[in-house]
Structure 1
Amino acid sequence: MKQKKWMTGLGVIVLATSLAACGDTADDPSMEMSEEQSMDHSAMDHSGSGEVPEGLMEASDPTYPVGSTAMMTADHMPGMEGVEATIVGAYDTTVYAVSYTPTTGGNPVENHKWVIHEELENPGDAPLAEDEKVVLTADHMDGMNGAEATIDTAIDATVYMVDYTTEDGEEVTNHKWVTESELEAMK
C-alpha cells in the first residue's frame, strides 16, 4: 500500500512538473486544475442514455426533486463545477469511488467518482468494504465495463442523474452520477 501511495505521489509530481513546463499558469486561476481534473476524462461518456440499472430505487423524498435545478460543486470532471444542473433522476443507493485498469488498456484510473452498487457484477449486500475487489458493469468510460476494480470509498447516499451545460458550452444529458453533497440549492 505504501508503494502504491508513493507511486501515485510521484505520478502527481511528474504531471505537475510537465504541466508547469507547458506555461506559467500561476497568474491565471482558470488554468489551475485539481488532481482529479488532471486525470484523462477524454474517454468518459459525459452524456448517457438515461437508462438506470435494474433494481435501482428512486428516492422517495430527495432534497432535489426531478425537474428542479441545483448548482454543482462536483469537480470530478472538467467543466462541471459551478454550473447549474437540472435533476432528471434521484436514487437512493450506495455509491463508490473506485480504482481500476481499463479493459481497453492504458493507464489505471484512480478514485473514479462515481459508480453505484447496482453497476457492480454480483455485488452482494451493500455497502462493500474499502479495498474490496469488484467487477464493474458501468460504461461511463471506455474500458470500464468488465474491468476489475478496487473500492476506494463507499457512501450511502442519494445520487442524481443530471443535465447541464459545461463552462465551455458542451451540453451534457443524463450524466451519471452526482451525489447530494456535490449539489447546492440555487440562490
Structure 2
Amino acid sequence: MNHMDHMHHDESSHLPPGIKVATNVKYPVGARIELLTDHMSDMYHAKAIVDGVYDTTVYSVTYNDTNTNEQITDHKWVVDGEVKYEGSVEVGEQVTILAKHMPGMQGATGTIERMTTEPVYMIDYYSSDQDRWIKNHQWVVESEIKSGEE
C-alpha cells in the first residue's frame, strides 16, 4: 500500500523537541514555492507557501500501519525527534515512529529507507483533490521544491 492512500494527514504545527530553525536557507518562511514531489496524490506541481525551515536529519521509512497492518512503503518524511532509536541509526535499521502525520503511524516499527540532512520544510499547499489549502504539511526536503516565481 502506498502512503498516498492515507489522505487524512495531521495539520497541526506541532514540532518535535529539539528541532532547530534553519538559517541561510534557499526558501525562507513566507516564500511561494512549487512542489516537485508526490508524497500525496495532489502534491506534484502544487503551489505552496513555506511555514518553517529546519536543520535536522530527515528519514524515509517503511512501516506497517498500526490500524490496518498494511505496509506503507517509503513514507517521506519523518525527522529526528519523530523516531526513536538507540545510539545512532543507519539505512536498513529499525526505529519506532513517534510522528502522527497519518493515522496508524504513531507507535509503528519502521525501517529506515533513506536519510538526508538537507533543509526540511513545513508548508501549506493547495490540494486540487480537496479544493482547499492543506496547512502545516510535514515534511518536504529542499530538493523536492522550486521557487514559485520561476
Displacement of 1:143 in angstroms is 1.2
Q: Runs of 4 or more off by more than 3 Å in structure 1?
A: 40-47, 122-125
Task: Write the letter of the residue equivalent to 2:138.
Answer: K
Distance 2:34 2:109 in 1: 33
- 1:179 equivalenced with 2:141 (yes/no): yes
Q: Residue 65 of structure 2: which of 93, 102, 105 is its match?
A: 102
Note the 1:16-165 alignment, pairs <5 A. Answer: 39-122=2-85, 124-125=87-88, 128-165=89-126
Q: Give CA-to-partner distance per residue, 1:148-183, whole Å, 9 cap, x none.
A: 000011111100000011123132000000100001
Displacement of 1:62 in angstroms is 1.4
Query: Bigger radius of gyration, 1 or 2?
Result: 1
Task: Write the letter of the residue equivalent to 2:116.
Answer: I
Distance 2:127 2:12 in 1: 18
Displacement of 1:43 in angstroms is 3.2
SS, match of residue 157 in structure 1: coil
The gaps in structure 1 that reach 5 residues or longer are 1-37
Distance 2:86 2:119 in 1: 19
Q: CA RMSD in A?
A: 1.6
TM-score (norm: length of structure 1): 0.74
SS, match of residue 143 in structure 2: helix
SS, match of residue 81 in structure 2: helix
Displacement of 1:123 in angstroms is 5.2
Q: Give CA-to-partner distance per residue, 1:112-146, whole Å, 9 cap, x none.
A: 11111120124544xx2111110000001111111
